[in-house]
Structure 1
Amino acid sequence: TPELFSPEAPSTSHACPTLQAEEGGVVLQATTEGVLCSQESTNTHRSPTTKRPRISEEPVVPAGSRTNRLQSPVTPLSRCVTVGRTYSVLVVVVCPCHLKEIKAKSGPSAGTFVPLASIVVMDHSGTEMKVVLWRQAAFWVLTVNAGDVLLITGLQVREDRWRGETVLQSTFRTKLLNLGHTSTLHSGPHHVDADLLSSLCSFVREQRPLLVSLPCRPVQKLDRLPYVTLRMLRVNTLVHALLQVTHSYVSSDWRNEAESRSRSAVQMKAVVSVEQPGGQQGVLILWGSAVDWLGRFHRNKNTVWDFHILLVREGLTSDLFELHSTPWSSVKALDLTDRRVQEFQRAQSSWTGSRRPVELDLDTLLSQKYSGEVELRVQIWTFKFQDVLPSQNPVQPVLDSSTPLDAIVAVLSGDITYTGCARCYSELDTDANGIYVPCYPCLPHTAVCRFYRPGVLMISERGCSKISVQVPPVPLQKILKAPPDRLQRSSALDPLVKHIQVAAERIHHLLSNPRKTFSITLQSHFLCDENSIPISQDFTLLDFQFPSCVSSL
């Protein structure tokens, strides 16, 4: 139900049934005392031959009376020390984490993916502790926010040997009651000690005023969620969105790290780059089973997708908001005849047409000192790969029309590729063990790829001045038409021809006739002084159009 995503309790001015939603064993109720999270019993309709699961054997009771089971004594976090013992705690949320799935390595669930989430909490004494929520209980993290007061029952103490800390973990009897945000909470349920609750709220207001100042999560109705644009996202809200997928990848590096013998879990997620008309760019994080959507995205490119019930969260490494899938999220491809698709494509085409590169000749570009995207028709004179640091590495030779094909192959056999961040293309170093150092600005994105080292083209137009154009790794791979990590392997078109030979022939045809005209798109940038005298000028290749005779190679 809609109100389950907000700790605000429904109105009690008139009698109404308790709002309740059950999905995949996750039970959420909006009660007069707050949002109650529990787990649906899974011992019904069980085959007599199946193994008896470790679940609560509690009798079935009416939904409205489930809060009565929370009447257990509350223990301070500082006294939750006995491993295996069950405790109930009254705490405030310091920091909830993202929901994820892990692959169990041992036990009855070995080989299966299990939901997992954790919450850092604090009680009235200032003691902080981590609460780890497993399986269905992991989805409760979607209903809590920093600053919320929680009553959690049925927690057990466990020693986390991997991180060397003591944590509280959920059991099949665990329940969570979200009483509301600290800034708006004035009284609690009758079965919660009023003095203890008042002490907790007073401590938070005095010692953690930032938690009190955090805005409360707005109340939303699932049947009235808005369709949003990527520029109008609000954190901790549920939204629908019409999006186009431009790029995606699975964080396989995290999975490989987690599958080592020293760790027993793996996080499954996919990072999807999405866009909307007007150049609006965004990121969609797919968790768990939603990763299976990637196959549909790859098969139906340029499709407008209708996403339902996405959660807006703050980015981990930037100030930009991210869209996250939830257990209730869904997606479908819109038909081309749908009015929304036609409006989407019309707005996209209008914006794309308005930002087409300016067509100029080289003389006009240099004389006007124009900064922006420019389309030119030029001749190619030379090409070289940028020199590799440190300086003791050999200088890369300059290739021109007189360079034989064998010499080009020799250059391509040298140090002209590197391993870099798949997101920003920066080259990665290795530590003493030969493991690549992560790209810290792009964390948590840790995927790596093989790239060509940047190149430099010397171009001119009808005998005018020559300029140097920087060729980034991605446009360079399009020019060479050969994957940088498979240069020594056979081409798919001809098993007798290697990719390195294909790349060499492309460069040879590019330079063989300096009078041949090519259409290129580049980004120009002029930095001038107060007298409009250029201090520096940079040109970066964005796109390169081959003649049909070269493109067929």
Structure 2
Amino acid sequence: MGVDQESMTKFRKLQNKLSPLKNCCCKNQKYNVLVTVVHPCHIKEIQVKTRPKSSCKIPVATIVVIDQSEIERKVMLWRGAAFWSLTVFPGDIVLLTDIIMYENLWCGEIMLQSTFTSQLLNLGNCSALNPEEFYPIVDGEVLRGLLAYILSAFPHFGDIPRRQVQRLDSVQYVQLDQLQPNTLVHSVLKIINIAILTESVYSYRGGNQRKIILTVEQNRDQHYRMVLWGAGAAWCPQLQRKKDHIWDFKYLLVQHSSVSGDFELHTTPWSSYECLFDDDKRAIEFKEKFQKSKMSHMQVTKLSAHLEEKCSGVIHVKAHILELKFTISTGQYKQVIFRADTSLECVLASLPMITYSGCAKCGLELQADENMIYKQCIRCLPYSQVKTFYRPALMTVEDEGYEIYVHVVSELMEKIFLNIPADWLNRLVVPSSDITYSTIVADLCHLLLADTEASYLLEIRSHFVLDENSCPLQKDFHLLNFHPDL
């Protein structure tokens, strides 16, 4: 394992300041030691009293180390240093700086512990370490002596497979069926379900936080678990809103589940997430690779045959979109209608009329007074958040001369507009340009109707009410899903 030049410079002065473990016996004196990790322990949180009536939880971990003086010591790693235990493995040669001796009076054991100035440098596993590479940092004779002792006293360390060294700038995108334990990965995933475990609570930044588990997939029905930790838990509201969409997650840690033994993905302090638009290259490649099989086996129904059968149910129809009609409950205009001959400028100017402010929980449209203070949604009290929605629409679709009117709810209007939320319309797409998301939505809406040759796969729930002669008294059609790529 290579060490970068910055680390070389930082540790170069320690060559003649290394102490064997047997000499680390004086209190209030800092030592630098070159040791081998025998085994690390899990990170724990302990309650520490900071004042007479207050306390806080801090992380702590222990690693057991040994050197050629044949002395084995436990090293207590406090606070941020506790997370070093995640980066070391049995057989690793590590350089620890500025550690002090600590006597555990409860069991009469001499231990070492980190200080605020302590640092750790992992030179690599003893079975694959090249001593010459580290001569500028540590005394060559000390390092060779430690290696000789470890390979003699712990020959099983030499059988440990070499670990692949990862750096944050070289993490790769990985498929779920090719995961390897204890590695960082990027992955494009579809969220199937989100569960907040009320009985599983851990401490984060001084408070209690519930464990959040996502069910994700690439290949259909092959589910994996992804756990949101720490700051990653704040993603939950946005993930919940777009649960069935495709997401690009970066810097996830792969680990075995302690319960099932299956691979799990865990967020890290470096993790990030991005919801992909349907026309994003990554989303298109994802659908082509993992979701195409379902689409190709989807049975498409002719609209004429379905209207003749007059059977209620869910159908898939490939049809043209002729018209979008939005009903407005307030203001001067009662309806906004977009057709193939509606200009792009008209669509763009009408966008504020096809959105509304409503209860963020149930979507009920809320009226505002002269001070633009919104009335509360009585049925959702005490919840009072307000959110911008697209208005539901009545869509006219046509297939081989047969037309039907399809009701489209607000959530599906957002999906048709490439998952661009209604409250993003005034945002700039790129800070350096003057193009807003409203321009993109207007262009999408205009193309949807102006391209008379384009057809779209629509998943529709139909409901027929027939009289005694099987003549339809009522026909209702509701859009369930929209596939713009077919």
TM-score by length of 1: 0.45
- In the alignment, the residues of structure 2 paired with residue 303 and residue 212 of structure 1 have an alpha-carbon distance, to the nearest angstrom, of 47
The residue correspondences of 1:356-367 to structure 2 (distance < 5 A) are: none
What is residue 127 of structure 2 aligned with on the other side? Answer: 183
Q: CA deviation at 1:233?
A: 1.5
CA contact (8 A) 1:270 1:285 kept: yes
Between structure 1 and structure 2, the one with the greater Rg is: 2
- In the alignment, the residues of structure 2 paired with residue 345 and residue 271 of structure 1 have an alpha-carbon distance, to the nearest angstrom, of 24
- In the alignment, the residues of structure 2 paired with residue 66 and residue 351 of structure 1 have an alpha-carbon distance, to the nearest angstrom, of 56
The farther-off stretch of 303-312 and 206-215 is 206-215
Q: CA deviation at 1:97?
A: 4.8
What is residue 363 of structure 2 aligned with on the other side? Answer: none
What is residue 280 of structure 2 aligned with on the other side? Answer: 338
- In the alignment, the residues of structure 1 paired with residue 297 and residue 137 of structure 2 have an alpha-carbon distance, to the nearest angstrom, of 63
- In the alignment, the residues of structure 2 paired with residue 159 and residue 139 of structure 1 have an alpha-carbon distance, to the nearest angstrom, of 23
**1:122 aligned onto 2:69:** no
Q: Deviations over 1:420-479 (max 9, x none)?
A: xxxxxxxxxxxxxxxxxxxxxxxxxxxxxxxxxxxxxxxxxxxxxxxxxxxxxxxxxxxx
Q: Deviations over 1:330-372 (max 9, x none)?
A: 222222332322443455544567999xxxxxxxxxxxxxxxx
**Could you say what secondary structure the match of 2:116 adopts?**
strand
Q: CA RMSD in A?
A: 4.3
CA contact (8 A) 1:70 1:175 kept: no
What is residue 206 of structure 1 aligned with on the other side? Answer: 152
**Could you say what secondary structure the match of 1:106 adopts?**
strand
Q: Deviations over 1:315-338 (max 9, x none)?
A: 445543333333222222222332
Give the unaligned 5+ runs of structure 2: 299-378, 381-486
**1:68 aligned onto 2:13:** yes
Structure 1 residues 85, 252: CA separation in 2 closer, same or farther (over 3 Å shift)?
farther
What is residue 296 of structure 1 aligned with on the other side? Answer: 238
What is residue 264 of structure 2 aligned with on the other side? Answer: 322
- Matched letter for residue 184 of structure 2: L
- Matched letter for residue 276 of structure 1: Q
- Matched letter for residue 3 of structure 2: A
What is residue 227 of structure 1 aligned with on the other side? Answer: 173
CA contact (8 A) 1:157 1:167 kept: yes
What is residue 89 of structure 1 aligned with on the other side? Answer: 33
- Matched letter for residue 38 of structure 2: V
Structure 1 residues 104, 229: CA separation in 2 closer, same or farther (over 3 Å shift)?
same
**Could you say what secondary structure the match of 1:172 adopts?**
coil
**Could you say what secondary structure the match of 2:135 adopts?**
coil
- In the alignment, the residues of structure 1 paired with residue 95 and residue 210 of structure 2 have an alpha-carbon distance, to the nearest angstrom, of 30
Q: CA deviation at 1:127?
A: 4.5
What is residue 529 of structure 1 aligned with on the other side? Answer: none
**Could you say what secondary structure the match of 1:192 adopts?**
coil
Q: Deviations over 1:90-109 (max 9, x none)?
A: 22223345667x47542279
Structure 1 residues 103, 191: CA separation in 2 closer, same or farther (over 3 Å shift)?
closer
Structure 1 residues 201, 321: CA separation in 2 closer, same or farther (over 3 Å shift)?
farther
| Aligned match for 1:9, one of 3, 12, 18 | 3
CA contact (8 A) 2:50 2:56 kept: no
Aligned residues: 297
- Matched letter for residue 75 of structure 2: V
Larger % of strand: which?
Answer: 2
Structure 1 residues 162, 276: CA separation in 2 closer, same or farther (over 3 Å shift)?
farther
CA contact (8 A) 1:92 1:121 kept: yes
**Could you say what secondary structure the match of 1:234 adopts?**
coil
CA contact (8 A) 1:74 1:87 kept: yes
Structure 1 residues 95, 230: CA separation in 2 closer, same or farther (over 3 Å shift)?
farther
Q: CA deviation at 1:150?
A: 0.4
Structure 1 residues 105, 254: CA separation in 2 closer, same or farther (over 3 Å shift)?
farther
CA contact (8 A) 1:96 1:120 kept: yes
Q: CA deviation at 1:174?
A: 0.4
The residue correspondences of 1:349-498 to structure 2 (distance < 5 A) are: 349-350=291-292
CA contact (8 A) 1:310 1:329 kept: yes
Structure 1 residues 113, 342: CA separation in 2 closer, same or farther (over 3 Å shift)?
farther
- In the alignment, the residues of structure 1 paired with residue 103 and residue 215 of structure 2 have an alpha-carbon distance, to the nearest angstrom, of 38
**Could you say what secondary structure the match of 2:118 adopts?**
strand
Structure 1 residues 65, 93: CA separation in 2 closer, same or farther (over 3 Å shift)?
closer
What is residue 107 of structure 1 aligned with on the other side? Answer: 50
CA contact (8 A) 1:217 1:236 kept: no
Structure 1 residues 306, 84: CA separation in 2 closer, same or farther (over 3 Å shift)?
farther
- Matched letter for residue 135 of structure 1: R
- In the alignment, the residues of structure 2 paired with residue 161 and residue 72 of structure 1 have an alpha-carbon distance, to the nearest angstrom, of 29
- In the alignment, the residues of structure 2 paired with residue 236 and residue 131 of structure 1 have an alpha-carbon distance, to the nearest angstrom, of 23
What is residue 531 of structure 1 aligned with on the other side? Answer: none
Paired-residue identity, % = 36
- Matched letter for residue 179 of structure 1: L
- In the alignment, the residues of structure 1 paired with residue 71 and residue 296 of structure 2 have an alpha-carbon distance, to the nearest angstrom, of 57
- Matched letter for residue 282 of structure 2: R
- Matched letter for residue 144 of structure 1: V
Q: CA deviation at 1:240?
A: 0.6
Q: CA deviation at 1:277?
A: 1.9
Q: CA deviation at 1:228?
A: 0.4
**Could you say what secondary structure the match of 2:12 adopts?**
helix
**Could you say what secondary structure the match of 2:239 adopts?**
helix
Q: CA deviation at 1:163?
A: 9.6
**Could you say what secondary structure the match of 2:37 adopts?**
strand
- Matched letter for residue 264 of structure 2: E
Structure 1 residues 345, 294: CA separation in 2 closer, same or farther (over 3 Å shift)?
same
CA contact (8 A) 1:150 1:177 kept: yes
